[in-house]
Amino acid sequence: MNFHAIRAIYLFEMARTWRTLMQSIASPVISTSLYFVVFGSAIGSRMVEINGISYGAFIIPGLIMLMLLNESISNASFGIYMPKFSGTIYEVLSAPISYVEIVLGYVGAAASKSVVLGLLILATSRLFVEFHIAHPLWMVGFLVLTAVTFSLFGFIIGVWADGFEKLQIIPMMIVTPLTFLGGTFYSVDMLPPAWQTVTLFNPVVYLISGFRWSFYGIADVSIGISLGMTVLFMLLCLSTVWWIFKTGYRLKS
Q: What is the pLDDT of residues 216-226, one digit of tens each?
A: 999 888 999 99
Query: Which three-class secondary structure state does DSSP give residue 54?
Result: coil
Q: What is the pLDDT of residues 147-170, one digit of tens each?
A: 999 999 999 999 998 888 888 888
The pLDDT value given to residue 21: 67
Residue 45 has pLDDT above 70, yes or no: no
Angle between helical axes of 99-125 and 223-247 (0-180°, round to 10): 140
Q: What is the pLDDT of residues 57-72, one digit of tens each?
A: 888 899 899 889 998 9
Residue 236 CA from chain centroid, whole number: 16
Average pLDDT over residues 129-151: 93
Q: Are 251 and 175 in contact (CB under 8 A)?
A: no
Instruction: Quickly state the pLDDT bin for 41 (edges 50, 70, 90).
Output: low
The pLDDT value given to residue 52: 82
Residue 96 has pLDDT above 80, yes or no: yes
User: Considering only CA atoms, which of 19, 18, 39, 22 is closest in space to residue 30?
Assistant: 22
- Angular region, 109: left φ>0, alpha ψ -120 to 50, beta rest: alpha
Query: Which three-class secondary structure state does DSSP give residue 53?
Result: strand
Average pLDDT over residues 185-207: 88
Q: What is the pLDDT of residues 17-32, one digit of tens each?
A: 777 766 667 778 788 7
Handedness of CA 163, 164, 165, 167 (dihedral sign): positive
Q: Are 78 and 171 in contact (CB under 8 A)?
A: no
Q: How many CB atoms lie within 10 A of CB 60?
A: 26
Distance CA 170, CA 164 (A): 12
User: Which of the residue ranges 5-9, 79-83, 217-221, 238-242 has the most confident prediction, judged by mean pLDDT?
Assistant: 238-242
Q: Are 70 and 171 in contact (CB under 8 A)?
A: yes
Could you tell me the residue ranges of all domains in the chain? 3-247
